[in-house]
Structure 1
Amino acid sequence: MDTDIALDTRTQGQRPVRETTAPGGWPAVGMIVLYFLLQALFATLFASAASLAVLLGGSTDRANLGPAIKILLGRPDIGALLVAVALCGAAATMLWLVRLRWPTLWPLAQPPGFGWSAPSSGVFYVYAIAAGVVLPVLGGYLTHFLAQGHPVPQDIKLLSARAPQAYKALLAMLAIIVAPLVEEVLFRGVLLSAWLRRLPVAWAVAATATLFALVHLPDLKYLWYGLPNLAMLGAAFAWLRLRSGSLWPAVVAHGMNNLVSLLGVFFAAHGV
């Protein structure tokens, strides 16, 4: 069933009401691809700037320049800054592009809108917090069961474990606030609305959750054990988005999930 929603252009006073149509599937996927490409671009720009600083510093001769740059970029504090620059730069750019590309869809509560609005009831924030606490615990057990004792690393967790305390706090803020916000706009806002054009709700949710899991494979070092957990999270976030008429409960649940995961890493590192 095609769920395109197109409103005829008409006037309210002197102002026209613009046509409101869900994004196409390929433009929506393209936005997600662009998000990760932008992360790579901003990371490259930061690494280039750091390398240039070493070169201009004059404390290293040209013969040792390559090893000096490699040592610099391998430092946990510099690695944390690289992640921060890449994520914040890509997130800010994508939020601006989505708002610019689909301004009429941005505030609409239900698809084809992106849900940048208050939820229909505050109780969905309670559901979001509960989901953000319970699901990572259940997902952790599921992942460890599927892994059969094999480690399941995640890049930001490994990096935050090595970083100085101030940089750990920075990475935690990014994981809890910035990453959930931009990912929910892209996956449960743009992509879910796009796929609801051609798919029944259950299939659109499943497809969105599956892609959400797959794009995190590099963080998992391409180990499949964590995919069912991520897909389950993606489906739960989509349920919150659709039932509440808002993106914010999904953002809260996503942020809580990341917080609980990071706390698990912290306690494990300190033998708690």
Structure 2
Amino acid sequence: MTALPPDSLRPRPEARPSPAEPPGLSAAIGLIALYFLLQAVAGGLIALLMAVATGFVQIDPRSQPIGAEIRAMLEQPGMPAILVMLTLGLAAAVVVPLVRRKWPALWSMARPPGLGMVLPVNPVFFMMAIAVGLAAPLLGGLLTSLLAHGNTVTQDIQSLGSHTPTQLRLALVVVVTSLGPLVEEILFRGVLLSALMKRWRVGWSVLISALLFAVSHLPSMQWQWYALPDLALLACALAWLRLRAGSLWPAVLAHGVNNLLAVVAWFAASGSV
């Protein structure tokens, strides 16, 4: 009788790769919270460093409170734009690699639970994205104006239009129309939407992600509740693009076009265009 080889010498069956698991809902919400927290905390620290570097903050007991000195620094032309660009750049540099490292198998997967960081099969979705990006602020603006009942609709980006000199406008436009949309689409229409679709149907997942997107932007809209339907409508359109295209890039493009129109509108309103 032939002796069997010891277990250590027997060929082992090849391990089958486990299917890629969708992101967890708590992980998705945690990343979104991290993104906005980074902007808040890093924005304050960067503003303080800028105030020190420009001499607005003086180490002198007779000087004004630091908060007043930072506000005085941010009233200087170009300073708010520089702060926004640095803050968005830092948040993107942290969040995007973190998502890529946490879900490498999902990064290039076209359909949920994948994050859709691939080109769409049909390039016509890029044309549709431009149309959505152009139509969303026009329709959303009309809806917001109706709900506002004559109240002035303001946004943090509005102050940038009147404080950004000509030489900084192009850089600001590039950052606001590229980095912001990229990170937010990865988080909301990538990670969050995939996490929600693990638990609920597509329609409910799109609706919940749209509401969370709208609520998360209320601070930048100075807590004006009548901006919520506009933001939720935009989020639903972006989710539709992401799911139909099998790619996140059309949603990123539409989001960028939407932001571009907003920035140009505020530049025009401030008389700087």
Shorter-chain-normalised TM-score: which range? 0.7 to 0.9
1:28 aligns with 28
1:153 aligns with 154
Say whether residues 1:102 and 2:110 are aligned partners: no
CA distance in 1, matches of 2:272, 2:98: 44
- Judged with a 3 Å threshold, the aligned counterparts in structure 2 of structure 1 residues 26 and 166 are, in CA distance, closer, same or farther, namely same
Percent identity reads 45
CA contact (8 A) 1:241 1:249 kept: yes
Pairing of 1:198-217 with structure 2 (within 5 A): 198-217=199-218
Q: Could you list the runs of 5+ residues in structure 2 that have no partner in the other structure?
A: 1-12
1:43 aligns with 43
Moved more, 165-174 or 194-203: 165-174
CA contact (8 A) 2:162 2:272 kept: no
CA distance in 2, matches of 1:48, 1:264: 30
The alpha carbon displacement at 1:62 in A equals: 4.1
Matched to 2:179, the amino acid is V
Matched to 1:29, the amino acid is I
The alpha carbon displacement at 1:148 in A equals: 1.2
Cα deviation digits, residues 93-113 of structure 1 (max 9, x gap) = 100100011111100000000
CA distance in 2, matches of 1:185, 1:152: 28
1:264 aligns with 265
CA contact (8 A) 1:54 1:69 kept: no
1:84 aligns with 85
CA distance in 2, matches of 1:154, 1:82: 16
3-state SS of paired residue (1:63): coil
3-state SS of paired residue (1:174): helix
The alpha carbon displacement at 1:174 in A equals: 1.6
Say whether residues 1:174 and 2:178 are aligned partners: no
Cα deviation digits, residues 116-175 of structure 1 (max 9, x gap) = 001020110111000111111111111111111111111022223322122332222122
Q: Tell me the TM-score normalized by structure 1.
A: 0.88
Q: Which has the larger radius of gyration?
A: 2
2:63 aligns with 64
CA distance in 1, matches of 2:195, 2:165: 41
- Alignment root-mean-square deviation, CA: 2.3
CA distance in 2, matches of 1:75, 1:211: 34
Q: Could you list the runs of 5+ residues in structure 1 that have no partner in the other structure?
A: 1-9
The alpha carbon displacement at 1:52 in A equals: 3.4
Pairing of 1:233-244 with structure 2 (within 5 A): 233-244=234-245
The alpha carbon displacement at 1:192 in A equals: 0.2
Cα deviation digits, residues 194-253 of structure 1 (max 9, x gap) = 000011000000000111000010111101111101100000000000000000000000
1:6 aligns with none
The alpha carbon displacement at 1:41 in A equals: 2.4
3-state SS of paired residue (2:27): helix
CA contact (8 A) 2:114 2:194 kept: yes
1:254 aligns with 255
The alpha carbon displacement at 1:91 in A equals: 1.1
Matched to 1:63, the amino acid is R
CA contact (8 A) 2:155 2:222 kept: yes
CA contact (8 A) 1:160 1:167 kept: no
| Number of positions where the alignment pairs a residue of Structure 1 with one of Structure 2 | 259
1:113 aligns with 114
2:224 aligns with 223
CA contact (8 A) 1:84 1:174 kept: yes
1:162 aligns with 163
- Judged with a 3 Å threshold, the aligned counterparts in structure 2 of structure 1 residues 32 and 246 are, in CA distance, closer, same or farther, namely same
- Judged with a 3 Å threshold, the aligned counterparts in structure 2 of structure 1 residues 49 and 265 are, in CA distance, closer, same or farther, namely closer
CA contact (8 A) 2:161 2:267 kept: no
CA contact (8 A) 2:110 2:116 kept: yes
CA contact (8 A) 2:48 2:70 kept: no
Matched to 2:62, the amino acid is A
